[in-house]
Amino acid sequence: AGWYFYSNETTPSWKKVNYNSVYKDIAGLLEDEDYDDGSYGPVFVRLAWHASGTYDKKTRTGGSDGGTIRHTAEAGHGANNGLEHARDRLEPLKKQYPNISYADLYTLAGVVAVQELGGPTVRWRPGREDKTEADCTPDGRLPDAAQGADHVRDIFYRMGFNDQEIAALVGAHALGRCHTSRSGFDGPWNASPTSFTNFFYTELLNSTWVPKKWNGPFQYVDKESGQFMMLPADMAFKKDSEFRKYVEKYAADQDAFFEDFAKAFSKLLELGVKFPEDAPVYEFKTLE
């Protein structure tokens, strides 16, 4: 006795965090009347997804584990433009809860945003560990919005999703907007970009989409008002008959969309993550 060099502290850092409390504090960061449509929720969802969507099932590389999206090497990928707004907004919480990993913080922020903007409960587990800049994935793993169904399938099959799951995920484009300063595209998908709804599907099917007349990248706007948009990759879900089956289902049945989205989004946030065996599954209660 007495010769142990290492500390006898054995509790891993992920166990020292009160995740219910982090959930509430992230929820408190959502609203800001000076940002976009008044909410950081949409960009939190995009951060969680871009942190996770680099996963490659063949090489078992990428994914949210490691929190590598915070490093300049990965943050600087073109697809990640604008995500500094989300990371900067969350940074004070990393100071407040030094034991949470960035990887857990960013994925949890996506869960909080989905739930607090009116979406389904998304099962989430803690225990991701942060890695170094050397673990960043190469550029090119996230989808290119200018392309169609074949490309969307290539990207999401690489992660291990099937057509039904891909079609369920894409409903998240009910949230937020495109920014010319980030992706080059412009506008929100519908009139309620801070509410999680099945409007992506209803708008896609029910509006007439015409090419936007402008000098920017090719995209669609709704013919009637010209205020709402679809990316070429979004339009693939209307044109491709296999995807369209699910689009029709989710447009008609919001509950089915919520249930399938929750499963697919939870799976996305866990791709490639080696969770500690005793990591509990959280189903956070939405506030109010």
Which sequence positions are flagged as catalytic? 50, 189
- Distance in Å, CB of 233 to ligand HIF, minimum: 4
Near ligand HIF in 153-172, by CB under 6 A: 169-170, 172
When asked if residue 82 is in the footprint of ligand HIF (CB under 6 A), the reply is yes
When asked if residue 175 is in the footprint of ligand HIF (CB under 6 A), the reply is yes
When asked if residue 29 is in the footprint of ligand HIF (CB under 6 A), the reply is no
- Distance in Å, CB of 268 to ligand HIF, minimum: 7
CA angle 51, 55, 60 (to 5 degrees): 135
- When binding is defined by CB under 6 A, the residue of 176, 222, 228, 244 that contacts ligand HIF is 176
Q: Which is closer to ligand HIF, CB of 14 or CB of 49?
A: 49
Distance (Å, rounded) from C-alpha 79 to C-alpha 74?
Answer: 10
Q: Which is closer to ligand HIF, CB of 170 or CB of 221?
A: 170
CB-based contact 281:125 (threshold 8 Å): yes
In what helix (H) or strand (E) does residue 262 lie, and over which residues does it extend? Answer: helix 254-270
Sketch the per residue contact string, 115 through 144, with ligand HIF: x for CB under 6 A, - otherwise: ----------------------------x-
- When binding is defined by CB under 6 A, the residue of 29, 221, 233, 271 that contacts ligand HIF is 233
Q: Which is closer to ligand HIF, CB of 9 or CB of 34?
A: 34
E strands, 212-277, in order: 220-222, 229-230
The set of long-range contacts for 192-196, using a CB threshold of 8 Å and a minimum separation of 24, is: 193/36, 193/37, 193/42, 194/37, 194/38, 194/39, 194/41, 194/42, 194/117, 195/117, 195/118, 196/114, 196/117, 196/118, 196/119, 196/120, 196/172
As a residue count, the chain comes to 288
When asked if residue 43 is in the footprint of ligand HIF (CB under 6 A), the reply is yes
Q: Is the dihedral of CA 217, 222, 225, 227 positive or negative?
A: negative
- Distance in Å, CB of 98 to ligand HIF, minimum: 27
Residues binding ligand HIF (CB under 6 A):
42-43, 45-46, 49, 82, 143, 145, 152, 169-170, 172-173, 175-179, 182-183, 185, 231, 233
